[in-house]
Copies of this chain bind each other. A is one copy, B any other.
Amino acid sequence: MAGFTPSLENLIDKFAALPSIGRKSAQRLAFHILGMDNDSVGAFIEAINNARSSVHRCKICCNFTDNEICDICASKERDRTTVCVVEDPRDVMAFEKTHEYSGLYHVLHGVISPMNDVSPEDICIKELIARLSDGEIKEIIMAANPTVEGEATSMYISKLIKPLGIKVTRLAYGIPVGADLEYADEFTLIRAMEGRKDI
């Protein structure tokens, strides 16, 4: 069986190595790249190089930014007494989309995971602790994903922070708004029951 021509196969392989791109999608993308005009391909490659060279971590919150300090940390409008701690820059975007939270963030860039060889030093915990020294921050909201590793990371961090006299909270567990109870898993239902409120 003849395959695609080598340079095309190579490009397909490269696309297929990207996350959540299967073989068929990789083919479609490679064919699309071949069919693009030179300017578009140039702009695509420039975007990759540009992002790689410009994007780095905010000196304060470790979120991705093109500047030394990210827009949120630099903003005068944010509540500087509250910090929401998340795993990933995309989680910051998720909270920002709610238009409700006006505090600051801290991005851990991962969770503690002995199985994947990720120790506390590998994620941005020391940067978080360093932020607490000036006494401005009154509350840390732990918002790691509700996984075993996310919870363990939250516990680890809260044990470090509580002795400093800073309030540590975590997101409420419960049933998602608009969800169908029938499809809720039992752990979520147990947590929702435990956290029930007066109405």
Task: List chain A positions with a Cβ less than 8 A from chain B.
Answer: 1-8, 10-11, 13-14, 18-21, 25, 27-34, 38, 41, 43-45, 47-52, 54-55, 64-67, 70-72, 75, 88-90, 92-93, 96-97, 99
Is B48's CB under 8 angstroms from A3's CB?
no
- The interface centre, meaning the residue of A5, A14, A44, A99 with most chain B CB atoms within 10 A of its CB, is A5
CA distance A7 to B65 in the complex (A): 9
A39–chain B nearest beta-carbon distance, Å: 12
> A43 — which chain B residues lie within 8 A by C-beta?
14
A119–chain B nearest beta-carbon distance, Å: 18
Is B19's CB under 8 angstroms from A32's CB?
yes
CA distance A75 to B54 in the complex (A): 49
Closest chain B residue to A71, Cβ basis: B2
